[in-house]
Amino acid sequence: MNIIEIKGVTKIYDKNTIPVHALNGIDLTFQEGEFASIVGPSGSGKTTLLNILGGLDDATDGVVLIDGVDLTALSGAKKTTFRKNKIGFVFQSFNLIPVLTVQENIEFIMQLQGIAREDREKRTAELLEAIGLSDRKNSRPNKLSGGQQQRVAVARALASKPKFILADEPTANLDSKSAENLLDIMGKLNREENITFIFSTHDLRVMNKAKRIITIEDGKVISDVVKEEIHNLI
Amino acid sequence: MLWLLSWKNVWRNKLRSIIVIIAVMLGVFAGVFMLAFMNGMVEERIQTVIRTEISHIQIHQPGFLENNDFSLRINNIDSIIHLATQTGHVAAASKRIVISSMVASAETNSGIKIIGIIPDQESKITNIGEKITDGDYFRNQQKNNVVIGKKLAEKLKVGLGKKLIITIQDVSTNITSGAFRVGGIFDTDNDMYDESIIFVRFSDLSLLSGLDGTQAHEIAVILDKDENTDQVKAELRKSLSTLEVMDWMELSPEAGYLVSAMDQYTVIFMVIILLALCFGIINTMLMVVLERVREIGMLMAVGMSKIKVFYMIMLETVYLTMTGGTVGIAAGYFASKYLERVGIDLFFWKEVYASIGYSSLIYPKIDLQTIMIVSLMVIFTGLFSAIYPAFKALKLNPAEATRME
């Protein structure tokens, strides 16, 4: 089942009246349970594509269907609500709220969703268990390592039970061990709970773990490979 | 959730928040205290006008106040005093003979207003008796005693027991003089009053001027409460329609202007303080927003609505302002209440204050209504200061903000 379907997506930035074509007619579909990585050199359009998929930026042209909803037709406020309920975000710099504890950070989006306290606490406990940080639930983010913070960010992204998670360079600020650990956790969540992850990355470790690699250059998809197909070919 | 998050955000940078809170606290404290101080000064001046110089209400023949015309006298004075004292809320009334005259000592002379009073009646009206610094207030039964102000005594270079010659125009419009001895010297903190008014007994002045004791120029009326002035004035005007009944604000319009002028000054003063605080708070909150661009971007990205982001920044600002404001208001209130009891003695400016009719001992006055108004002004300042930084936060593009270094 397609949870994301984009057709002919174009993004033109009008910088000082000189148009910059960030995306040039991209067609892609993502299915439930994918563990996909969008790769490409800097300035290729990875982040722009991720922002459009996440409803953080508008396409200049084309159609963006998320879970059957045309994102380009939604108003700003409706898009915000849509993001809250359907999309999880993991950022390169973790972006946890420093004044809240680990537990409060994870509960935050559920509070925005208006989920009852009991349900929030239950879900948070499950997620803390999944990321292996149950014993740190009352710690502030500054007391955690970079890897632990990013695991909390993953748990926060999952808290709202989104349709998919967009992770923008999630391992860029992590050491090898932490990156491996984070990818293992995300891989496990993908396998066991069928959660869709879409990464934008330069990191070979992420590419190695990904089941599908989409390469973008100059705003165009130049390859879209599912690893199983390569193995089958070999 | 937002309430708690905003409160926690306030304490993210403790030092900066404490500095802002202290600035707000000091500003509001200064504002509240200055309001109390000015209220106290005005109140003190008004009470001096009422209790020392004028009384609540005075009754004259129409036109008398324009040039103190000796011939404009009130007849059957005692029956009118009786009528006045029968009016509700009137605590006491006193008759006075008022004549513009000359007083001369062995050294020099001066133009003054001589007031003939009945000391027992007058003690219920004015507090000149309590302002005696030398001698007494007509306790001595000797004839032709005079009580004069300290400033006039200095000007005439006389002291207790010294002789003064008072020259007036009598009922027959003849110039007549009488010799009086200084029996008391008063000091009212109003140099102009002390220099221009002298008191003698009603009977002595009646005798000197040729009046028969049933006539006087002025009836001074004191009431049980200041706020009953308008009501009693209206009643007296009705019952004494041929006479001129005026209250202290009409008799001393500058005191009335003082009240409204002070009200305006205090509002201007408070607005200046709060405006200065407002810019300080805006500056701080802009720093807060700029420091948290990535975090605010993240909040918007994960689904926090713009209105909630706006609300969060507003709340943080209001918390900052109200924390400092509450402490400042409380400190200003309690300091003013304490000083209302003990007073502030600005003795080093006594001369200056006395020259403009004020006491150098000031009792700040503050009431809950003023506190409520200041509280509302502080809340408004907080909300007003928050608007620009909150809008600045709303302008953030979450896609760019989350990637900002």
| B140-176 residue pLDDT tens | 778 899 999 999 999 999 999 999 999 998 888 889 9
Q: What pLDDT is attached to residue A231?
A: 57
B72 and B163 both lie in a single domain: yes
Residue of A nearest to B297 (CA): A95
What domain range is B229 assigned to? 62-242
Residue of A nearest to B1 (CA): A111
Cα–Cα nearest to A207, from A22, A17, A35: A35
B170 and B192 both lie in a single domain: yes
Cα–Cα nearest to B219, from B71, B130, B116: B116
Q: What pLDDT is attached to residue B358?
A: 75
B335 and B211 both lie in a single domain: no
Contact B304 A80 (CB under 8 A): yes
A 10 A CB-CB count for B268 gives 10
Residue of A nearest to B397 (CA): A56
Contact A77 B294 (CB under 8 A): no
Residues of chain B contacting residue A89, judged by C-beta atoms under 8 Å apart: 298, 301-302, 402
- CA A206 to chain CA mean position, Å: 13
Contact B300 A80 (CB under 8 A): yes
| A7-53 residue pLDDT tens | 999 999 875 678 888 899 999 999 999 999 999 988 889 989 999 99
Among candidate residues B242, B273, B299, the one where a domain is terminated: B242
B394 in contact with chain A, both atoms CB, cutoff 8 A = no
B118 and B210 both lie in a single domain: yes
Calculate mean pLDDT across residues A183-187: 88
B30 and B97 both lie in a single domain: no
B300 and B152 both lie in a single domain: no
> At A230, is the pLDDT very low, low, confident or very high (cuts 50, 70, 90)?
low
The sign of the torsion formed by the CA atoms of B196, B200, B206, B209 equals negative
B28 and B106 both lie in a single domain: no
pLDDT for residue A233 is more than 70:
no
B9 and B101 both lie in a single domain: no
Judging by beta carbons within 10 Å of its beta carbon (0-12, 13-18, 19+), is residue B80 exposed, middle or buried? buried
**Position B390 in a domain:** yes
**Position B236 in a domain:** yes
At A234, list the tokens.
Answer: 């070999």
Among candidate residues B242, B268, B284, the one where a domain is terminated: B242
Contact A83 B304 (CB under 8 A): no
B303 and B360 both lie in a single domain: yes
| Weakest-pLDDT range from A118-122, A129-133, A227-231, B238-242 | A227-231
B179 and B300 both lie in a single domain: no
A84 in contact with chain B, both atoms CB, cutoff 8 A = yes
At B123, list the tokens.
Answer: 């003690």
Shortest CB distance from A83 goes to which of B294, B295, B302? B302
| B238-285 residue pLDDT tens | 999 899 999 998 998 887 787 788 888 888 888 898 899 899 899 999
> At A229, is the pLDDT very low, low, confident or very high (cuts 50, 70, 90)?
low
Determine if residue A33 is left, alpha or beta; phi over 0 gives left, psi from -120 to 50 gives alpha, anything else beta: left
**Position B55 in a domain:** no
B200 and B267 both lie in a single domain: no
Contact A95 B304 (CB under 8 A): no
Residues of chain B contacting residue A43, judged by C-beta atoms under 8 Å apart: none
Among candidate residues B186, B220, B242, the one where a domain is terminated: B242
Residue A203 near residue A211 (C-beta atoms within 8 A): no
B301 in contact with chain A, both atoms CB, cutoff 8 A = yes
Residues of chain B contacting residue A77, judged by C-beta atoms under 8 Å apart: 305-306
Q: Which residues of chain B have pLDDT under 70?
A: 357, 404-405
| A56-92 residue pLDDT tens | 988 999 999 998 899 888 888 899 999 999 999 998 8
**Position B392 in a domain:** yes
**Position B56 in a domain:** no
**Position B262 in a domain:** yes
From the CA of B9, how many Å to the nearest CA of chain A?
7
**Position B282 in a domain:** yes
Q: What pLDDT is attached to residue B188?
A: 87
B96 and B165 both lie in a single domain: yes
* Structural domains of chain B, count: 2
Residues of chain A contacting residue B300, judged by C-beta atoms under 8 Å apart: 80
Three-state SS string over chain B comes to CHHHHHHHHHCCCHHHHHHHHHHHHHHHHHHHHHHHHHHHHHHHHHHHHHHHHHCCEEEECCCHHHHCCCCCCECCHHHHHHHHHHCCCEEEEEEEEEEEEEEECCCCEEEEEEEEECHHHHHHHCCHHHHEEEECCCCCCCCCEEEEEHHHHHHHCCCCCCEEEEEEECCCCCEEEEEEEEEEEECCCCHHHHHHEEEEEHHHHHHHHCCCCCCECEEEEEECCHHHHHHHHHHHHHHCCCCEEEEHHHHCHHHHHHHHHHHHHHHHHHHHHHHHHHHHHHHHHHHHHHHCHHHHHHHHHCCCCHHHHHHHHHHHHHHHHHHHHHHHHHHHHHHHHHHHHHCEECHHHHHHHHHCCCCCEECCCCCHHHHHHHHHHHHHHHHHHHHHHHHHHHCCCHHHHCCCC
B-interface mutation test, from A83, A99, A113, A117, most B Cβ less than 10 A away: A99
Q: What pLDDT is attached to residue A202?
A: 84
**Position B249 in a domain:** no
pLDDT for residue A232 is more than 70:
no
Residue B129 near residue B137 (C-beta atoms within 8 A): yes
At B60, list the tokens.
Answer: 């004259």
